[in-house]
Amino acid sequence: MPKQCTKTQSDQIDLFLRLPLPSQTRHNNMSKQTYKICFCFPRRFRLAAAEAPDDVKILFSQYSENGTMAADHLRRFLVEVQKDHNATLEDAQAIIDGLGRLHDLRHHNIFHRKGITVEAFLKYLFSDTNPPLSPLGVHHDMTAPLSHYFIYTGHNSYLTGNQLSSACSDGPIINALQKGVRVIELDIWPNSKKDNVEVLHGRTLTTPVELIKCLKSIKEHAFIASEYPVVITLEDHLTPDLQAKVAEMATQTFGDILFTPGSESLKEFPSPESLKKKIIISTKPPKEYLEAKEIKEKESDSQKGKALGDEKAWGREVSNLKDIAVANDKNDLDEEGNNEEEDLDDADPKLQQHAAPEYKRLITIHAGKPKGGLQECFKVDPEKVRRLSLSEQQLEKAVLTHGKELVRFTQRNILRVYPKGTRIDSSNYNPLIGWSHGAQMVAFNMQGYGRSLWLMHGMFRANGGCGYIKKPDFLLKTDPDNEVFDPKVRLTVKETLKVTVYMGEGWYYDFPHTHFDAFSPPDFYARVGIAGVPADTVMKKTKTLEDNWVPNWNEEFEFPLTVPELALLRIEVHEYDMSEKDDFGGQACLPVSELRSGIRAVPLHSREGEKYKSVKLLMRFEFV
């Protein structure tokens, strides 16, 4: 809704909005904007060049001489402020030369052969060559067992939209693989003639896609974004003859890149390094599945149909473990019973005796739940490893009463967590609950959007975006008293992250000028915070700046971190609307462990996680 007209606003006919110089020169013919005010009177806003924040001006004066920053000055800035300790004089000169090739800087005489001015310095700080994350590529130890890694995991990877009625396609699978997702889930069912295999969400209105098409697309796109292994988790609803057909399809499609274990049960999982460019199959030992449930919409479900205010614009705020009500544990894992995927018993050997042997031989990561409650589920067998699947609700119950057992189980075995069945809108849950207990496969609906998915995207920007992140040592070890990490225990602060939000730019070029408000430029504010263990989780907010396409907040925040290894920096920008919900202006999520110190340009992304062409924030990160 448009903002109400006021006399003060009416008087601001010649308000100057500050935009970075390069953007201004690109759009020299768009230096004014006209809005209608009070539904009739035109209101014009003129656009002017941006002014560097005061901190940037001060730093420039400290690292320059006579208004010019030469290569040796810039190198000192890179080492002392940006903490790029390996920066050389040649690196600094390359930056200056790169700025010198920009036509807009030469045109405005703010570049000199011997150095740069403060305007060019600001241009460099806002550039893509000054990103917030370390450009280290894959730098974690990749030779440990698979159970030692968080793995980028998809849920119902074949769906194009909601869980109830969308089409099934290989398109979402391709998109996920191109973004670095390493675990693809396929629900496999007999076709109507019972002579072939289809992929679909069973007992729903989703339209199927042939399994062979999905397998061929996985082979073609598996290793474009990462050369580390792709795991295919199969939810199998097939008869033995069709299982044999799947085995034939997989063997012929993947050939030598299909990894097959040497024995039926592994004593320890192989490493990502040893499985480079390999496809791995994970499912239960073959059996007849119980009839899958029908997806029913529950009116009482808090995640569905109650999005109000800002939630509808960019997704519900992420629920933390401390917000979860204490669950009644008397039924352990039996409460969901047969109402959740993969929540089925594998103990009856009669259901397996006619299984296709060639299908069984393909399974590297064996899945299944033992009979009994939580205690049985989390038992560790020193002679073999396995995969256990829990719904998000089952995980929430388990962490309240068996948190340490979960951590101990995931030191050798793989835990997969999946969304509850009532998330028919393809929304997601808080992944930190699983990660902080060692869960490797936190399965997400990648076709959705929202704050939880932003955390997933942010987490897997680490380690070169390869889809595998080495778990922190404290999740992999026991202390001398045989104790393991407990996320609920508040630890001492390890380090404090200081974040300064200077300014933002780029909305003027990526959005129509009336996108946020029909009557004036937008009123932006930023939210900055941490997603992590409960003790570290917090969100803070800047002031709202009225009528400014290039907000200059210049606000500093401090975040004490007890477990920085699991911390993600959350950044959101919104446009304030006094009469209804605020508008979405962009978001970013960054792993704290890989943040670069210094002043950095942080690109913002859409709700769907796509990077905007121009929108960025200028921020400073300091660890104290």
Which pLDDT value is given to residue 520?
Answer: 85
DSSP string covering 327-373? P--TTGGGSSGGGSTT--B---GGGTTT--HHHHTTEEEEB-B-SSS
**Dist. CA 387–CA 384, nearest whole Å:** 11
Query: Can you give the length of the chain in residues?
Result: 624
Which pLDDT value is given to residue 303?
Answer: 38
Which pLDDT value is given to residue 420?
Answer: 94
- For residues 598 and 83, the answer to whether their CB atoms sit within 8 Å is yes
Place of tokens 């890694």: 149
Question: For residue 558, what are the β-bridge partners?
Answer: 498
- For residues 618 and 53, the answer to whether their CB atoms sit within 8 Å is yes
CATH class of 495-623: mainly beta
Q: Tell me: domain 54-102+113-126, CATH 2.60.40, correct?
A: no
**Dist. CA 520–CA 154, nearest whole Å:** 42
In this prediction, residues 65-73 reach a mean pLDDT of 95
Which pLDDT value is given to residue 326?
Answer: 42
pLDDT in tens, 407-416: 999 999 999 9
Task: Tell me the three state secondary structure of residue 458.
Answer: helix
Which pLDDT value is given to residue 114?
Answer: 76
Rg, Å, the chain Cα set: 27
pLDDT in tens, 283-336: 986 553 333 333 333 333 433 333 333 454 466 788 776 665 443 443 444 333
Q: How many other CB atoms sit within 10 Å of the CB of residue 345?
A: 14
In this prediction, residues 41-61 reach a mean pLDDT of 79
Is 574 a catalytic site residue?
Answer: no
CATH 3.20.20.190 in the chain: give the residue spans: 148-286+356-475
Q: Which residue has the higher pLDDT, 35 or 453?
A: 453
The model's confidence at residue 38, banded by pLDDT at 50, 70 and 90, is low
Looking at the chain, the whole-number percentage of residues with pLDDT higher than 90 is 69
The structural architecture, per CATH, of the domain 148-286+356-475 is Alpha-Beta Barrel (3.20)
Q: What angle do CA 16, 19, 21 make, to 5 degrees?
A: 120
Which range, 101-105, 283-287, 540-544, has the best average confidence (pLDDT)? 540-544
Q: The tokens of 145 are what?
A: 């067992």
Catalytic residue among 148, 201, 237, 437: 201
Which pLDDT value is given to residue 484?
Answer: 92
pLDDT in tens, 358-376: 999 999 999 988 887 888 8
Which range, 16-30, 173-187, 278-292, 578-592, has the best average confidence (pLDDT)? 173-187
Place of tokens 């061929």: 216
Q: The tokens of 447 are what?
A: 């076709």
Looking at the chain, the whole-number percentage of residues with pLDDT higher than 70 is 79
Which pLDDT value is given to residue 372?
Answer: 79
The model's confidence at residue 43, banded by pLDDT at 50, 70 and 90, is low
- For residues 435 and 150, the answer to whether their CB atoms sit within 8 Å is yes
Q: Which of 46-60, 81-95, 156-170, 593-607 has the lowest mean pLDDT?
A: 46-60
Catalytic residue among 73, 148, 155, 366: 155
CATH 2.60.40.150 in the chain: give the residue spans: 495-623
Which pLDDT value is given to residue 8?
Answer: 37
Q: Is the pLDDT of residue 7 over 50?
A: no
Q: Is the pLDDT of residue 45 over 90?
A: no
pLDDT in tens, 474-525: 999 988 888 899 988 999 999 999 999 999 999 999 999 889 988 889 999 9
Q: Is the pLDDT of residue 257 over 70?
A: yes
Which pLDDT value is given to residue 35?
Answer: 59
Q: Is the pLDDT of residue 433 over 50?
A: yes
Long-range contacts of 326-333 (CB under 8 A, 24+ apart): 326/400, 327/393, 327/396, 327/397, 327/400, 329/374, 329/397, 329/400, 329/401, 332/372, 332/373, 332/374, 332/397, 333/369, 333/373, 333/374, 333/377, 333/390, 333/394, 333/397
Q: Which residue has the higher pLDDT, 23 or 498?
A: 498
Q: What is the DSSP letter of 545?
A: B
Is 85 a catalytic site residue?
Answer: no
Mean per-residue pLDDT of the chain = 85
Query: What's the CA dihedral at 304, 308, 310, 316 to 10 degrees?
Result: -30
Which pLDDT value is given to residue 336?
Answer: 38
